[in-house]
Structure 1
């Protein structure tokens, strides 16, 4: 059936069911309960979540738009598995948007006030109770950096990139060999904050580039790291 404007209509589903399913699936993916490449068994998830297939499939559709799930023709869905090339390109995109935001925003008119969301995100990283909380704070930190430019379209463009990067980075942080890197990661974010407090765009851009370069190397993808610029 088509709506009056000619756009195919979609059954209206209870938003709460779709949202709850989406949040729980996202947490399961980022916490490692569902791993990259794993097939999603709808019957099992419906039973686990206590919902029917309609809200589950809508949640999966939204997660696919965010890049966390991919649909396979005639084979259902699976958790997205990024290639080294995909991850490299995502880091490059993040840096391009962050660099533009910083070069647009700095010097800041009121650094104490404008940097408060970044300080708050760093505090959350320091005090995170688990890897998922730390990953969310990490994403919010980078989002707050770009928000300094006061450009809504930049914020919208960055959000899916940060979410996609959260998948391989969360996987890495869960591995015991990388747990020792958590403190180092927080220190590198403090270095970005200190660069921002200098109120000089060139210093901040250099700190962001170094941070992204080391993040990528820490993923151990086997591909070449981002080039310095």
Structure 2
């Protein structure tokens, strides 16, 4: 909902709506490499660029801090949290546990989960997409759909949360053209194994598939991140 300031005719969003908009914009800037790990900025800079007061900016930043994306340095502003390689590897370990259990449950389902046919249509039957960042979003959806289709809502919730936390790694991985075709091939093979109730084979292929992405974590350099940073399109908050 928007409120109009009768004095100047400008639209003003409710404070909580402003904070959410800033929160989502900053998070997207981090995931899209417009804000890189280690980048520093102030509340005033964001407030000026977004044409808002510091109050919703501060609220948005505290949300991001609680989720582990930024950290505050009192009297010296904010910083995008630097990469913690051990932290990301722990998230990947948890991801593997959740997805292997999901595959086990999916292989035991009779009849197969309807979601598998939807995934098959995209990853096997339809023409392949070429844009890496687009494919990376569908890659996330593939894995989240597998876990959700296994039928445990709490397991799916935890998986969605960790998927978001490792998003920057996956998107960086998909800046490499070879990963697009490899992902299509690997997803197709995993799906067929699940649909044929080949539990051990499906789990093996899935674990190998995730291991490739996990291995990229230790290869990330600041130079790679700067190469991935897009040109300023005027719609974000590059600092």
TM-score normalised to structure 1 length = 0.76
Q: CA contact under 8 A between 1:121 and 1:141: conserved in structure 2?
A: no
| Larger-Rg structure | 2
Distance in 2 between residues matched to 1:120 and 1:37, nearest whole Å: 41
Query: 2:63 — aligned with what?
Result: 62
- Cα distance in 2 between the residues matched to 1:167 and 1:125: 26
TM-score w.r.t. the length of structure 2 is 0.73
Question: Number of paired residues?
Answer: 206
Structure-to-structure mapping, 1:1-229, within 5 angstroms:
14-72=15-73, 75-111=76-112, 113-119=114-120, 122=123, 126-127=128-129, 131=133, 133-174=134-175, 178-221=176-219
RMSD of aligned Cα (Å): 2.8
Which range is displaced more, 141-150 or 51-60? 51-60
Deviation per residue, 1:153-212 (Å, 9 max, x gap): 1012112211111122223434xxx23333223322222222222223222211110011
Distance between the aligned counterparts of 1:155 and 1:143, measured in 2? 7
Q: Provide structure 2 residue ranges, at least 5 long, that are not aligned to the other structure.
A: 1-13, 221-239
Q: Of the two structures, which has the highest relative contact order with CA contacts closer than 8 Å and spacing of 6 or more? A: 2
Please list every run of at least 4 consecutive aligned residues from structure 1 whose deviation after the TM superposition is greater than 6 angstroms.
none
Whole-angstrom CA distance in 2 between matches of 1:35 and 1:200: 41
